[in-house]
């Protein structure tokens, strides 16, 4: 078999979009995927199965990194060198989660951790990869969210981390233009992955704290998220988009994915603020059971 011609570094390969994207990319013999999975190779084996790992051989690599913790950029650069000879063609910053809850009372440590994973780790990993991406005139795909464009109640920490990711990515593009590196923001609506169960769990935990003014609303929103999980889109749609963005010669600056994402973005852009706020207040009452 011929040697892989492309190296793709992907975060969040243990679940959801990341896991499915890794599988699709690894079915194409030209790809080597360096998967960021906390827990390393043994966890990767339980996620993908020993048989798949054997089939993919050295085209499947694992970078054991907890994105919530601080790590040295130089150390990660060295690990990337040892895993794939320091060649990176595509960086997909996909890992992330939703620390939902009322920002007027939310645990500040949890808000910081949200930013560590969804935002600061992206900056750090991108800095580690830029020297390699300059060599290949590669690309950076940052998985944002409709929540990076529109703010929703109880989504403040998550939304702020994605708004930050949007501003960061847009700014970064001006710097990396000269090196032939392209960036793209992927902005999904609601899709069936581990995301909403984890978000609902964050709300339940937040509602259980001893003093809280919003416990009932948080529990109602958690139930609402669980109930509407069936209506969310199929994650394969996002996966197909991510795979296509690794291939296309020229990629857009941002892509909304899913009907809900496009509808929210359009209404938010088109409606006068006062009308938007009335709609959101009604939605907030419905989602949180507030009278
Ligand atoms: N699904 C949606 O509806 C939706 C909508 C808009 C945007 N998004 C975005 O899509 C991206 C992928 O999420 P998903 O929907 O695929 O959810 P998911 O199934 O919950 O997957 C999240 C991934 O992020 C990883 N991750 C979280 N914290 C980490 C940490 N500290 N260190 C290393 N990895 C960590 C998880 O690894 P562990 O297994 O180790 O926790 C997991 O692989 C996220 O950025 C999310 O914000 C999702």
Q: Tell me the two tokens of residue 280.
A: 């959101």
Q: Is the pLDDT of residue 209 over 90?
A: no
- Selecting among 19, 145, 162, 199, the annotated active-site residue is 162
Q: Could you tell me the CA-to-CA distances from 233 to 40, 144, 243 in Å, in that order?
A: 30, 16, 17
Overall number of domains in the chain:
1
* pLDDT score at 47: 98
Rounded CA Rg of the chain? 19
Q: Could you tell me the two tokens for 165?
A: 């990711």
In a domain? residue 220: no
Q: Is the pLDDT of residue 118 over 90?
A: yes
Helix (H, G, I), strand (E, B) or coil at 222: helix
Sign of the dihedral through C-alpha 95, 101, 106, 107: negative
Question: For residue 75, how far is the Cα from the chain centroid?
Answer: 23
The domain in which residue 45 lies consists of: 6-194+233-259
* Atom number of ligand 1 nearest to Cα 13: 43
Confidence of residue 4 (pLDDT cuts 50, 70, 90): confident
**CA distances (Å), origin 217, targets 101, 104, 107, 208:** 10, 14, 17, 12
Ligand 1 atom closest to the Cα of residue 11 is 34
- Is 101 part of a structural domain of the chain? yes
135: closest CA among 80, 181, 75?
Answer: 181
CA–centroid distance, 143 to ligand 1, in Å, is 9
Residue-level pLDDT at 287: 86
Which residue intervals of 13-97 are DSSP H helices? 16-26, 40-48, 50-56, 73-84
- pLDDT level of residue 1 (50, 70, 90 thresholds): low
CATH code where residue 77 lies? 3.40.50.720
Look up 192 and say whether it is catalytic. Answer: no
Give pLDDT tens digits for 24-39.
999 999 999 999 999 9
Residue at 277 is within a domain: no
The total number of residues written for the chain in this structure: 291
Q: Which atom of ligand 1 is nearest to the CA of 197?
A: 20
168 near 123, Cβ under 8 Å?
Answer: yes
In a domain, 276, yes or no: no
Return the percentage of the chain with pLDDT > 70, whole number. Answer: 99
Does 202 map to a domain?
no
pLDDT given for residue 152 in this prediction: 94
- Alpha-carbon span 43 to 66, nearest angstrom: 13
Average pLDDT over residues 16-20: 98
pTM for the model stands at 0.97
* Percent of the chain surpassing pLDDT 90: 88
Would you say residue 230 has pLDDT above 90?
A: no
119 CB less than 6 Å from ligand 1?
A: no
212: confidence class by pLDDT, cuts 50, 70, 90: confident
- For ligand 1, atom 26, the nearest C-alpha belongs to 95
Say whether pLDDT at 238 is over 70.
yes
The pLDDT score that the predictor gives to residue 208 is 87
Give helix 236-247 / helix 16-26 axis angle, nearest 10°: 50
Ligand 1, from 13, 15, 264: best to mutate by most atoms within 8 Å of Cβ? 15
Within a domain: residue 65? yes
Of the listed ranges 40-44, 63-67, 161-165, 281-285, the one predicted with least confidence: 281-285
* Residue 207 located in a structural domain: no
**Which run of H or of E encompasses 155?**
none
Question: What's the CA gap between 239 and 90, in Å, rounded?
Answer: 15
Q: Is 97 an annotated catalytic residue?
A: no
- Tell me, yes or no, if 144 is annotated catalytic: yes
Q: Quick: pLDDT tens for 60-108.
A: 999 999 999 989 999 999 999 999 999 999 999 999 999 999 999 999 9
Q: Which residues of 128-139 are buried (b: 16+ CB within 10 A; e: fewer)?
A: bbbebbeeeebb
158 is catalytic: yes
Which token pair is 211? 């003093």
Cβ pair 68, 117 in contact under 8 A: yes
- The response to whether residue 115 sits with its C-beta less than 6 Å from ligand 1 reads no
Q: Which residue carries 């996966």 as its tokens?
A: 239
pLDDT band at 207 (very low <50, low <70, confident <90, very high): confident
Does the structure show a pLDDT above 90 at 228? no
Query: Has residue 173 been placed in a domain?
Result: yes
62 membership: H or E segment, kind and range: strand 60-63
């Amino acid at each position: 078999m011929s040697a892989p011609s492309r190296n793709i570094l992907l975060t969040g390969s243990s679940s959801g979009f990341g896991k499915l994207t890794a599988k699709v990319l690894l079915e194409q013999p030209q790809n080597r995927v360096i998967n960021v999975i906390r827990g390393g190779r043994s966890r990767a084996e339980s996620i993908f199965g020993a048989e798949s790992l054997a089939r993919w051989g050295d085209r499947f690599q694992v970078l054991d990194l907890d994105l919530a913790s601080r790590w040295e950029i130089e150390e990660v650069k060295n690990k990337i060198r040892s895993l794939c000879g320091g060649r990176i063609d595509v960086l997909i910053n996909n890992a992330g989660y939703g620390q939902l809850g009322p920002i007027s009372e939310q645990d500040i440590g949890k808000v910081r951790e949200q930013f560590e994973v969804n935002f600061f780790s992206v900056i750090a990993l991108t800095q580690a990869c830029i020297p390699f991406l300059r060599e290949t005139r590669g690309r950076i795909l940052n998985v944002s969210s409709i929540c990076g464009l529109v703010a929703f109640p109880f989504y403040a920490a998550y939304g702020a981390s994605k708004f930050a990711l949007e501003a960061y990515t847009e700014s970064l593009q001006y710097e990396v233009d000269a090196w032939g590196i392209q960036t793209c923001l992927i902005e999904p609506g609601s899709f069936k992955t581990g995301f909403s169960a984890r978000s609902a769990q964050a709300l339940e935990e937040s509602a259980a704290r001893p003093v809280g003014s919003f416990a009932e609303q948080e529990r109602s929103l958690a139930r609402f998220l669980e109930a509407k999980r069936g209506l969310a889109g199929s994650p394969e749609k996002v996966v197909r988009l991510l795979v296509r963005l690794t291939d296309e010669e020229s990629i857009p600056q941002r892509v909304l994915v899913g009907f809900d994402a496009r509808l929210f973005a359009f209404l938010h852009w088109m409606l006068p603020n006062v009308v938007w706020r009335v709609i959101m207040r009604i939605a907030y009452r419905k989602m949180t059971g507030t009278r």
